[in-house]
Amino acid sequence: MTQGRMQTVTQVRDGSSLAHRAALRFAEFARPFSVVVAIFSAAVLLAMTTTSSYAKNCSLDDKCTEDLVVVGNNGALFGGSVSTFAPGSAGNNKPLHQIIGHAPGFDGVSGVAISPDLQDIAVGNQLANDILQFGAGSTGNSAPSAVIIGPDTGNNNPTGTVFLQGDDEDGIFAVANTLGVVIAPDSGIGICAPVSEGGAGFSLGTITEFFEGDSGDVIPLNNSPVVLAIPPIPPGVLENATIGGCLSFLGGPTGLASDSTGKLWVVNSLFGYVTSYADDASGDAFPDNIIGSGVLSATGGEFVAVDGESDGEIFVTDAGTNTIQVFDTDTFFGTLVATISGRWLHSPMGIDSNGDEVYVAINGRNSFLMYDNDFGQLEAGGSPRFNVRVQGGATGLHLPTGLAVPHPPPVD
């Protein structure tokens, strides 16, 4: 028995020795190839760096303006993150940049917006009650370049953000403040309901606007203070706002979009409709449109996008029914054009369009989808197949909420 064991051990040792010598010989044979591999790896890293620079610095004439996608993730880790995906991303793609960590100060990431010059990203930071701005190339544990916070800002659960388009709107972005009870005398018109006979009425939420780069406790642009209170506390607290009041018909505003004329579109999730306002609207402004009432689910409609081709259509995600609703905006109340559904639309939220494609953040599946922008050719009830799905562990997507793509300049 002892001799047999010794023979077995010797065989194993000899085998290991042979394997070891074979490995050494293979390493010696493969050494020239390792140089090739090193050169190839360096080339890949250089290409990644080049792609990053291209995505950050590309001009409005470059193809990247149509394909970059910025997604806000409302994940539990570090209070959220913001991911930027390179042109052509599909499947389980790693983002080009991901801002994540303690330094960004995320706490309830909601809407995101990217400036027309591709230099800045604005983030609605709900639970921290502030608005964060980052350079478009920011990544990792980066601190924001600007933070709008304080009592004069009018921040009140900021959610959706959008950079305004139009000739006179360069460098201005709008913010939807979901909370805040606006108290005003009951005029019998607007969303205000009388809280007592001959008393005051109330509506919910405000819109504020700021310059790109604003920071600190800044007053919103075109400020028209509204009177706030939380019933049954009597009115008397002024809150700064660009748009707010009974006639504005705001009701829990969440998602925002801007068309090429500078008109602002607002999803009012509390009541299930979309309102629009002229580019110079301020104060208790009556909307230009009220669209989707009776179609969008209350507390379900989350975000809105405008057709980049300016043919009078808006796209609204409805998380309550897991659909995208498409409306024509030619009339005050609009017309339902199509209802997009499908098993991948599980709690759709952020939505945006560059004119050729429509991108949608899917909160319930940790993904985002890209469709061709031909929704207007569908009949109500149509369900087109998406062209691209980005999903998987490498993407870092976790409960995505806001989504934004750069918008090409309007065609004269």
The enclosing domain of 392 has a CATH number of 2.120.10.30
CB 258 within 8 A of CB 299: no
Q: Are residues 218 and 305 both part of a single domain? A: yes
The pLDDT tens digits for 62-119 are 444 445 788 888 876 678 999 999 878 889 989 989 999 999 999 999 999 999 888 8
Last residue of a domain, one of 31, 57, 83: 57
Same domain, 82 and 40: no
Structure tokens that stand for 294 in this block: 């009776």
pTM (predicted TM-score) = 0.79
Residue 189 above 60 pLDDT? no
pLDDT value at residue 3: 44
pLDDT for residue 22 is more than 70: no
Does 256 share its domain with 311?
yes
Count structural domains, the chain.
Answer: 2
Do residues 270 and 299 both lie within one domain? yes
1 part of a folded domain: yes
Based on the fold, state whether residues 259 and 278 are members of the same structural domain. Answer: yes
Q: Which of 14, 37, 57 is the last residue of a domain?
A: 57
pLDDT above 90 coverage of the chain, percent: 42
Confidence band, pLDDT 50/70/90 cuts, at residue 184: low
Please give the share of the chain, as a percent, with pLDDT higher than 70.
Answer: 69
Residue type, 40: F
Residue 204: domain span: 67-404
Flag whether pLDDT at 233 surpasses 80. Answer: no
- 51 and 74 in a single domain? The answer is no
Q: Which two tokens stand for residue 235?
A: 């009115």
Give yes or no for a contact between 160 and 110, defined as CB atoms under 8 angstroms apart. yes
Q: Is residue 273 in some structural domain?
A: yes
Local confidence band at 253 (pLDDT 50, 70, 90 cut-offs): very high
**244/36: higher pLDDT:** 244
Let me know if residue 302 belongs to a domain: yes
Q: What is the DSSP letter of 170?
A: T
**Is 287 in the same domain as 370?**
yes
Angstrom CA distances, 12 to 8, 22, 23, 37, 67, stand at: 6, 15, 16, 34, 58
Tell whether 150 and 38 lie within a shared domain: no
- 62-76, 108-122, 239-253, 262-276: least confidently modelled range: 62-76
